[in-house]
Structure 1
Amino acid sequence: MTSPSRSSSRRGTAAALLVVGAAVCFGTTGTAQSLGAPDASAFALGAARIVFGGALLAVIALVALRVDAAPSASAQRDGRRDGRPASSRDARRATLRPDHRRGRIRPSSLGRARIRPSSLALVAVGAIGVAAYQPSFFTGTQQNGVAVGTLVALGSAPVLTGLLEWGVRRRAPGIRWAVATVVAALGVAVLSGVFAPGGGDGRGTVTVAGLLGSLGAGASYAVYALSSKLLLDRGWAPTAAMGATFGAAALIMTPVLLTSDLAWLSRPGGLLSTAWLAVVTVALAYTLFARGLRRLPASRAATLTLVEPLTATVLGVLLLHEQFTAAIVVGLLLLVAGILILTIGRRPPRSVPNLS
């Protein structure tokens, strides 16, 4: 028989791999733009990614809700056929479904907790975080260059997520998370080129506005990651949490998209690039992310998503024929080391036989 500690460790590893899979999807964003829509502005492409991807997630969530609502409607019809109204016990059974992995009954994605004002507030806060990430990130890269802007945004995201989670949930991330985050962030720094002569982008100064923009991007990520985690902790299904959050973000970003130059979107490459971004880097990626986040602290999930620059670097070398340097090797190794610190589970304690 598998011990509870070993089973829990396996579930944690599986959840971590789901988040890593999501980060791999995130990492294809830059390559998709370079190959499909090189003339599109990053800001317009980012808006299109959120609008179309968020709308797709919302549709997936609505379909899932209708599927979950079917047992309830069936129970009511059965009650009417018997000449009696469906009892409250029947209704409760209709809105509950078994969790075979834990042997318990858990609410379906139409549970009553989903319509509470506090849950709707979490959806709104998460949507604002998703929408705010795009302009904040691009402000940082425009002011201080891609290397410094990306480093500060990606490097600060797991740190700010850990601090925010600590403040909101009163749970310290732990030493293991801190070590993994430092190692992985150092790998991001090496990959960004900030240690290269000229700081990677040849800019000698770092502006306060640029730093605030990049830190704002990291904070925006922390906000929507933690709000999603809180929704999942309240029993929201992953599809419902992501569909509501990104569906609302799509509404926020629609005016931004409509006021952008969309000439690139009328070409086949632009359409294919947008489709990839919407389906793979949003719908698929955040479905995987939410399923992993359900069993992981938000701080740990944020650190695991640093696989994104690793993926982007590998794709840049393989598909875009970017230069493969010793610094890239060192950066990749540091990133892999940081991720392994989190994904390799601790050995569960041996069970002591009861001799009494």
Structure 2
Amino acid sequence: MSDSKHRLAYIYVFLGAALWGIIGLFIEELSQAGFSAFQIVTLRVVSASVMLVLFVVLKNTELLKIDLKDSMSFIGTGIFSIVFFNWAYFTAIEEVSLSVAVLLLYTGPAFVVILSRFFFKEPMTSRKVGALVLTLLGCVLVVKVFPIGIEHVSWYGISVGLGSGFGYALYSIFGKHALKKYHPLTVITYTFVFASAVMLPVSGIAISTSDLQSTHVWMNILGLGFFPTALAYYLYTMGLSMVESGRASIAATVEPLVATLLGVFVFNDVLTAFQVVGMLLVLAAVVLVQFKNADTLK
């Protein structure tokens, strides 16, 4: 791969992760409108799937053609990843603190690196391992697990939280496999179609007509479905199609940085010195993982 294409891949990943980081804007508004967490997730995946299907129909209907035998890849990205990690993530939030749940979710890159080693024979490099360590330490500081600490930890919450990280990682694994045969638009479209097929009946969503009469609510539903979902996943998947899944997932950890900065500038959160250090560690990991030539660990 040329250096320019290599850089472009990371730009796609960064932009996608940055868009994931602004999801709090839409969640905050929809929560205040009375929607539950799982209802918001359902609105997210359904609105994204509708947008994506309509766009692909207008762009090129050939992109909707898949072999039924390949459905497992989209079951993997849509159900095993999107649906499962959202369930596990929200369950972890209920069992442990939000900051701990976020940290456990971001064990995802470690799972990606390990699984990619077995499924795609991606090399386990010293720089990649170093980037994982920096990412973990950085996220610990960014989400303020340290120096606050963890007391009376729910081991069920920890287990489910790690499950959310595993589910989060599965998108990169199943997505990478699907990208060997299909266009990124095909991958993300069927990801959200399959996710919607499961979320609609199990989420218990019940929206009264009055809930949808507000233009403000509709703007936030459409914004949620497009910016941090359809567009974000498209950009990340484009980057994933160009670089190793392990490197892409590590680079995507700029998401909590964006979310934290959003909290500072929009919600008036106070940024601590520890969080600044954590951000620098994550950024260092992102820079480190971009180096293509690294010694493979034996």
Give the superposed CA RMSD: 2.3
How many residue pairs align between the two structures? Answer: 291
Quote the sequence identity (%): 25
34, 38, 41: which one aligns with 1:43 = 38
* d(CA) in 2 for partners of 1:62, 1:268: 26
Structure-to-structure mapping, 1:324-339, within 5 angstroms: 324-339=271-286
Whether 2:114 is the aligned partner of 1:160: answer no
Equivalence for 1:197: 148
Q: Displaced runs of 4+ in structure 1, greater than 6 A? A: none
Change (3 A) 1:178 1:60: farther
Whether 2:219 is the aligned partner of 1:272: answer yes
User: 1:131-157 CA distances to partner (integer Å, 9 max, x unpaired)?
Assistant: 111111011111011011110111x10
Equivalence for 2:262: 315
Equivalent pair of 1:13/1:345 in contact (CA under 8 Å)? no
Whether 2:2 is the aligned partner of 1:13: answer no
Report which stretch shifted further, 292-301 or 170-179: 170-179
Structure-to-structure mapping, 1:92-241, within 5 angstroms: 109=63, 114-115=66-67, 117=69, 119-128=70-79, 129-154=81-106, 156-199=107-150, 204-234=151-181, 236-241=182-187
Q: Aligned AA for 2:25? A: T
218, 235, 243: which one aligns with 2:189 = 243
How far off is 1:344 after superposition? 5.8
Whether 2:19 is the aligned partner of 1:25: answer yes
Equivalence for 1:291: 238
User: 1:160-185 CA distances to partner (integer Å, 9 max, x unpaired)?
Assistant: 11111112123234222211121122
How far off is 1:40 after superposition? 3.2
Q: TM-score, normalised by structure 1?
A: 0.76
* d(CA) in 1 for partners of 2:97, 2:206: 22
Gaps spanning 5+ residues in structure 1: where? 1-6, 70-108, 348-356
* d(CA) in 2 for partners of 1:17, 1:217: 26
Equivalent pair of 1:13/1:344 in contact (CA under 8 Å)? no
Equivalent pair of 1:19/1:289 in contact (CA under 8 Å)? yes
Change (3 A) 1:193 1:252: same
How far off is 1:195 after superposition? 0.8
Equivalence for 1:91: none
Q: TM-score, normalised by structure 2?
A: 0.89
* d(CA) in 1 for partners of 2:161, 2:207: 24
Structure-to-structure mapping, 1:78-93, within 5 angstroms: none
How far off is 1:17 after superposition? 1.1
User: 1:95-126 CA distances to partner (integer Å, 9 max, x unpaired)?
Assistant: xxxxxxxxxxxxxx478xx4161x22211222
Equivalent pair of 2:56/2:64 in contact (CA under 8 Å)? no
* d(CA) in 2 for partners of 1:62, 1:185: 41
User: 1:297-350 CA distances to partner (integer Å, 9 max, x unpaired)?
Assistant: 111111111111000001110011111221221121112111111246669xxx
